Amino acid sequence: MIRFTNAFKAYPRGSLALKDASFHVGRGEFVFLTGHSGAGKSTVLKLIYAEEFPTSGEVRVAGVVTSELRRREVPRLRRRLGVVFQDFRLLEDRTAEENVAFALEVTGARRGTIAPKVMRVLAQVGLAAKAQAYPRELSGGEQQRVAIARALVNDPHVLLADEPTGNLDERAARGVVQLLRDINANGTAVVMATHNLELVRQAPYRVLELQDGAIVYDSAVDEVRSNVGGQRGGTVT
Amino acid sequence: MSLTIRETLLAFRRAPLLSVLSMTTIAFALFVVGLFGLVALNLRTALADIEERVEVVAYLIRGTPVEISTMALGDIQAFPEVASVQYVSEDDALERARRQLVEFQGVFQDLETNPLPASLEIRLKPGFRDEDHVRQVADRLRGFRFVEDIRYGREWIAKLDRLRDIGAAVGLAIGIAFALASVIIIGTTIRMGVLHRSREIAIMRLVGATDGFIRRPFLLEGALKGAVGGAAAMGLNYAAYLAVDRTLFDSVFFSRAEAGLIVLFGTALGFLASAQSVRRHLARV
Ligand SMILES: Nc1ncnc2c1ncn2[C@@H]1O[C@H](COP(=O)(O)OP(=O)(O)O)[C@@H](O)[C@H]1O
Ligand SMILES: [Mg+2]
C-alpha cells in the first residue's frame, strides 16, 4: 500500500526533514506517526500524497513510485487517498454537504451519483442532520467530521490525518479518533500523525516514531525484539 | 461544463466589486483602442474618397489621329496599375468646358478654332494610387510620341501618402499600447481573483482536481470579462461616433463584422490574460 525505501527529504534552504526512512504500511492497517514538532511527520504525509517528493530513495503509494508521476497524474493518486488536517480546510461559503460534494465534483463525477454518496458519508461521520450547516455554524469536532467525510467520499484506500485532533478539546479529539478507528474497521488504512501520546496509548495500533527526521521506533518491528525480551513495546516518549 | 459555469458565477458573486472594477477597466482600455480604430477607419474612408480622384491626364499633340489614340487606349488599359482610360477628344473637351464654365460660355461660343487639346484620362486601381506608382505610369506615358504633356497632382499625392502612413503608424502604436494595457489589467484582476481563491485552489488540488479543472472557471471568467468589457467599449464607441456624426462631421462606424471582431478581441485578451495568471499561480504550488 505505502512503502518508503531509504527515503530522504531535504527542503530547499532547509535541513534534512527526513533521513533514510524505510517502512511499509499494509492494506487496512492503522498507524500512528508520532514525534515532536518538527520531527518530520507532516513531511512523511506530504511525501505520501505527492505534495513533496523524496530527494533520494523511493516512496511507493498504491503501486506507483511518486517521483515517477507526471504532474497531471498526481490528481489521480490524490483521489485514491483522503487527507485531513488540523485546520480542517473547509470552504467557508459552502455548506457541509457542498464541501463534501466538492470533492466528487472536481473528479467529474456524474451529477446524479453525488447526492446519495454525500449523504452516506455524512451519515457515517454522524452529521447527516447538519448537512445544510456552514462551517462557522459547526463546532471544531463537527468541522473535522465534515473534513473526514470529504476525505472518505471518494472511497480512498488510505486516510491520511495530520494532527486531526490538534485544534480539538479532549472529548472531540477522542470522538475523532474513534471515528478514524471505525473507518479503519471498515477496511480503510489510516495513517495519523499526532503528538498526543495519550490518544496513542488508548489505541492498540502500530506506532512509528520520528525524531529529527529519522524513524527511531517502529512498534511493528521493535515489538518483536521487545517480546523476545519479555516486554510489551509501544511506549514512546 | 455546468460546474465550470457555476464556479465562475460564484466567483462573480463573491467578489462583485472586483469583477465590476475589472470589467470597467477593460471596457475603457478597449474603448480607447476602439476610438483609435474609429479615427483610422474614418481617415481611411476620407482618404479613399480623395484617392478616387487620383488621375493622370495625358494631353495629346494636336492633330493626333483618332485611330492612334484608340490604339494607345488599348495599350494603356493593359498597364497593371490602370483601372480605366477615357479618351477625351478636342470636341469633348470643349463641350465639357462649356458645360462646366458657364460664366465663360460666350468666350467658348465665339471661338473659331478649338484651343483645347484631346487627352487621355487615366484612373488607377486602388493600391496604386500613391506617388511612386503615379510617377511610374506618367513616365511610361511620356514614352508615347503623341503625348505632349502629363498632369497629375504630384504634391498632394505625396502628402496623401504621408498622411496615410502616419495615420496607420500612430493608430497601430496606440492600439498596441492600449491592447497591452488591457492584457495587464485583465491579468492583474484575474490574478487578484486567483489569490483571493488560493485557499480554494489548494483544497481543489488536495481532493484531486486536475490543473485543467482548476483553470477552467478562471478562463471562462477572463473571457467573460473581456467580452463584457469589449461589448461595453463598443457601446461607448458608438456613442462617441454618434456624437461626432451629429455635431461635427459625417463619419462612419465599424461594420457589424468589425465591431464583432473587436468584442472577440476583448474576449481573447481576457482569456489569454487569465490563462497566463492561472498558469503562473499553478506553477508555484
Ligand atoms: N516547506 C518547507 N521548507 C523548508 N523547511 C521545511 C518545510 N516544511 C518543513 N520544513 C522543515 O522540515 C522539518 C520537518 O517538518 P515537518 O515535517 O512539518 O515536522 P512535523 O510535522 O513533525 O512538525 C522541520 O525542521 C521544518 O522546519
Ligand atoms: Mg506537522
**Best of A8, A11, A55, A196 for a ligand 1 pocket test (most atoms within 8 Å of beta carbon):** A11
Q: Is the same domain home to B123 and B167?
A: no
The predicted pLDDT at position B1 comes to 57
The predicted pLDDT at position B100 comes to 74
Backbone angles phi, psi at B79, to 5 degrees: -60, 140
**pLDDT band at B108; cut points 50, 70, 90:** low
Q: Is the same domain home to B188 and B73?
A: no
Q: Is the same domain home to B133 and B265?
A: no
**Tens-digit pLDDT profile for residues A115-146:** 999 999 999 999 999 999 999 999 999 999 99
Cβ neighbours of B184 (radius 10 Å) = 12
DSSP letter (8 states) at residue A128: G
Q: Is the same domain home to B45 and B60?
A: no
Ligand 1 lined by A40 (C-beta under 6 Å): yes
Does the pLDDT value for residue A229 go beyond 50? no
Task: Give the residue-averaged pLDDT of B236-244.
Answer: 90
Does the pLDDT value for residue A237 go beyond 50? no
B242: cell is 454618434
DSSP letter (8 states) at residue B1: -
Given B113, B132, B151, the domain boundary residue is B151
Tell me how far CA of residue A79 lies from CA of A1, A50, A107, A148, in angstroms: 15, 12, 8, 14
d(CA B136, CA B152): 12
The total of structural domains in chain B comes to 2
d(CA B202, CA B206): 6
The predicted pLDDT at position B156 comes to 67
The predicted pLDDT at position A88 comes to 95
**pLDDT band at A170; cut points 50, 70, 90:** very high
Work out the angle between the directed axes of helices B154-196 and B131-142 (0-180°, nearest 10). Answer: 150
pTM above 0.95, yes or no: no
Task: Give the residue-averaged pLDDT of B195-201.
Answer: 85
Report how far ligand 1's centroid is from the alpha carbon of A17 (Å): 6
Does the pLDDT value for residue B58 go beyond 70? yes
The predicted pLDDT at position B29 comes to 82
Report how far ligand 1's centroid is from the alpha carbon of B1 (Å): 39
Q: Is the same domain home to B168 and B280?
A: yes
Tell me which residue has its CA closest to atom 21 in ligand 1.
A42
**pLDDT band at A152; cut points 50, 70, 90:** very high
The predicted pLDDT at position A224 comes to 54
By the CB criterion, residues less than 5 angstroms from ion ligand 2 are A 42
Cβ neighbours of B15 (radius 10 Å) = 17
Handedness of CA B164, B167, B173, B176 (dihedral sign): negative
Which H or E run contains A131?
none
Task: Give the residue-averaged pLDDT of B55-83.
Answer: 84
The predicted pLDDT at position B157 comes to 67
Q: What angle do CA B81, B85, B91 make, to 5 degrees?
A: 155
Contacts of A71 in chain B (CB under 8 A): 211
Q: Which of A215, A193, A205 is nearest to A28 (CA)?
A: A205
d(CA B9, CA B44): 42
Which residues 186-215 on chain B approach chain A with CB closer than 8 angstroms? Answer: 199-200, 202-211, 213
DSSP letter (8 states) at residue B143: T
Report how far ligand 2's centroid is from the alpha carbon of B110 (Å): 113
Range of weakest confidence among A100-114, A175-189, B156-170, B263-277: B156-170
d(CA B190, CA B182): 12
**Tens-digit pLDDT profile for residues B85-99:** 888 888 888 888 777
Task: Give the residue-averaged pLDDT of B8-37.
Answer: 80
Does the pLDDT value for residue B123 go beyond 80? yes
Does the pLDDT value for residue B52 go beyond 80? no
d(CA B70, CA B73): 5
Contacts of A158 in chain B (CB under 8 A): none
- Whether A106 and B14 lie within 8 Å, measured CB to CB: no
Range of the domain at B38: 2-49+160-284
Pick the CATH number of A1-80+160-168+191-237 from 3.40.228.10, 3.40.50.720, 3.10.20.600, 3.40.50.300: 3.40.50.300
Ligand 1 lined by A112 (C-beta under 6 Å): no
Given B110, B133, B151, the domain boundary residue is B151
d(CA A194, CA A208): 11
Mean pLDDT of chain B: 82
The predicted pLDDT at position B105 comes to 67
**Tens-digit pLDDT profile for residues A60-82:** 999 999 999 999 899 999 999 99
The predicted pLDDT at position B153 comes to 66
Output B51 or B278, whichever has higher pLDDT: B278
Ligand 1 lined by A42 (C-beta under 6 Å): yes
Most confident of A35-44, B125-134, B247-256: A35-44
The predicted pLDDT at position B177 comes to 83
Closest B-chain CA to A153: B207
Q: Is the same domain home to B102 and B31?
A: no
Tell me which residue has its CA closest to atom 24 in ligand 1.
A38
**pLDDT band at A228; cut points 50, 70, 90:** very low
Report how far ligand 2's centroid is from the alpha carbon of B72 (Å): 95
Q: What is the DSSP string of A169-221?
A: -HHHHHHHHHHHHHHHHTT-EEEEE---HHHHHHS--EEEEEETTEEEEEHHH
Task: Give the residue-averaged pLDDT of B128-133.
Answer: 80
**pLDDT band at A232; cut points 50, 70, 90:** very low
| Phi-psi sector, A121: left (phi>0), alpha (psi -120 to 50), beta | alpha
Closest B-chain CA to A74: B208
Do the Cβ atoms of B229 and B30 come closer than 8 Å? yes
- Whether A75 and B14 lie within 8 Å, measured CB to CB: no
Does the pLDDT value for residue A230 go beyond 60? no
Task: Give the residue-averaged pLDDT of B130-144.
Answer: 83
Element counts in chain B: helices (H) and strands (E)? 10, 4
The predicted pLDDT at position B137 comes to 85
ipTM of this model?
Answer: 0.86
Work out the angle between the directed axes of helices B2-14 and B16-52 (0-180°, nearest 10). Answer: 100
Most confident of A55-64, B4-13, B77-86, B121-130: A55-64
The predicted pLDDT at position B165 comes to 78
DSSP letter (8 states) at residue A92: T
- Whether A106 and B207 lie within 8 Å, measured CB to CB: yes
